[in-house]
Amino acid sequence: MAELDNSSTSSSSGSTFFNRSFTMHANTAEPDAPKVHLLLNNPSSLNRAASISKIYNSIDSVKGKVKKLCNLFESAKSSSTSTELSPKVVLRPAKSIGYSSSFSSSFNNPLIRLPGTEDRIVVYLTSLRGIRRTYEDCYAVRMIFRGFRVRVDERDVSMDSAYKKELQSVLRKKNPSLPQVFIKGKYVGGADVIKSMFEVGELAQILEDFPRIQQPGLVCDCCGDVRFVPCGNCSGSRKVFDEDEGLLKRCLECNENGLIRCPNCCS
């Protein structure tokens, strides 16, 4: 019994010494010694502490990876900003002979002319709404010139095919885009050019010499702003009766649709 007591006392003293040694090491490693002592006495809490330490270690490793990625992105961003701050070389095309960057100078010296229209504004357009963008461009150009209250010779290619052939021969294109504008017999351009000139103010300078309509906004009583009326010779049938020969012949006064230009607003 005495031996058992001695062994028990020695084991208890050894265990206490072991616990004291751990607590001493804990005291030297961390200031919070009672918490470490409790973890050593409770194995489940020790396991939890180990798992928590693993989690913290994994979080630290993730943080290190994130910092590396941030450093990479910051270095790439700094390199891109440095390249942006460096001067760029811009290559500009050489100016063609006979043209200038200004609309007015190019208007004064064009290479394309429409003979017989030196005293007017001619706009080739279409009244059909088959292609929405084309119709909107034609409508926008019409409204711009109407805002200046000037008379415009509107040549609708959808109402008369002769105007389409005329535009093709002048521009030397098989399918020219619409609208196309000629001022004083000189070619100006399409809708984009007219809009740009209108916004800059150069179009107003070019149209200063044209007379203004006294009563703008009125619709023509004869054609209703269509610019065409049925032919009075054949009543739009395109056929006339030749009394001498007793035969029907093609009317020479109207177009393929049996229409003529409005004598009221297009004279």
| Residue-wise pLDDT tens digits, 5-23 | 444 444 444 444 444 444 4
Mean pLDDT, the chain, as a whole number? 75
Residues 108 and 180 in one domain: yes
* Opening angle at CA 180, ends 227 and 251, nearest 5: 40
Omega cis (within 30) before 179: yes
Question: Concatenated DSSP letters for 12-54?
Answer: HHHHHHHHHHHHHHHHHH-S-HHHHHHHHH-HHHHHHHHHHHH
90 lies in a domain? no
CATH (domain of 207)? 3.40.30.10
181 burial type by CB count under 10 A (0-12 exposed, 13-18 middle, 19+ buried): buried
Residue 142's pLDDT is what?
Answer: 94
Q: For residues 256 and 96, give the distance between their C-alpha atoms in angstroms, rounded to a whole number.
A: 41
Contact 88, 156 (CB under 8 A): no
In a domain, 204, yes or no: yes
Residues 166 and 192 placed together within one structural domain of the fold? yes
44 shares a domain with 122: no
- The C-alpha torsion from 159 through 160 and 166 to 172, rounded to 10°, is 50
Is 146:198 a contact under the CB 8 Å cutoff? no
Same structural domain, 114 and 210: yes
pLDDT score at 243:
85
Q: What's the number of domains the chain is made of?
A: 3
**CB 86 within 8 Å of CB 188:** no
In this structure, the answer to whether residues 207 and 227 fall within a common structural domain is no
* pLDDT tops 90 at residue 196: yes
Convert the pLDDT of each residue in 227-246 to its tens digit.
999 999 999 999 998 888 88
Q: With respect to residue 86, please indicate whether it lies within any of the assigned structural domains.
A: no
What's residue 137's pLDDT? 96
Residue 89 in any domain: the answer is no
> Same domain, yes or no, for 208 and 229?
no
Q: Are residues 198 and 240 in the same domain?
A: no
Look at residue 235 and tell me if it is in a domain.
yes
| Structural domain contains residue 83 | no
Domain that holds residue 228: 221-267
Q: What is the pLDDT of residues 19-58, one digit of tens each?
A: 444 444 444 444 444 544 544 455 554 455 555 566 656 6
Cα 249 to Cα 238: distance, rounded to the nearest angstrom: 8
Determine the pLDDT at residue 197.
Answer: 94
Kindly report, residue by residue over 97-127, the tens digit of the pLDDT. 233 344 555 565 568 899 999 999 999 999 9
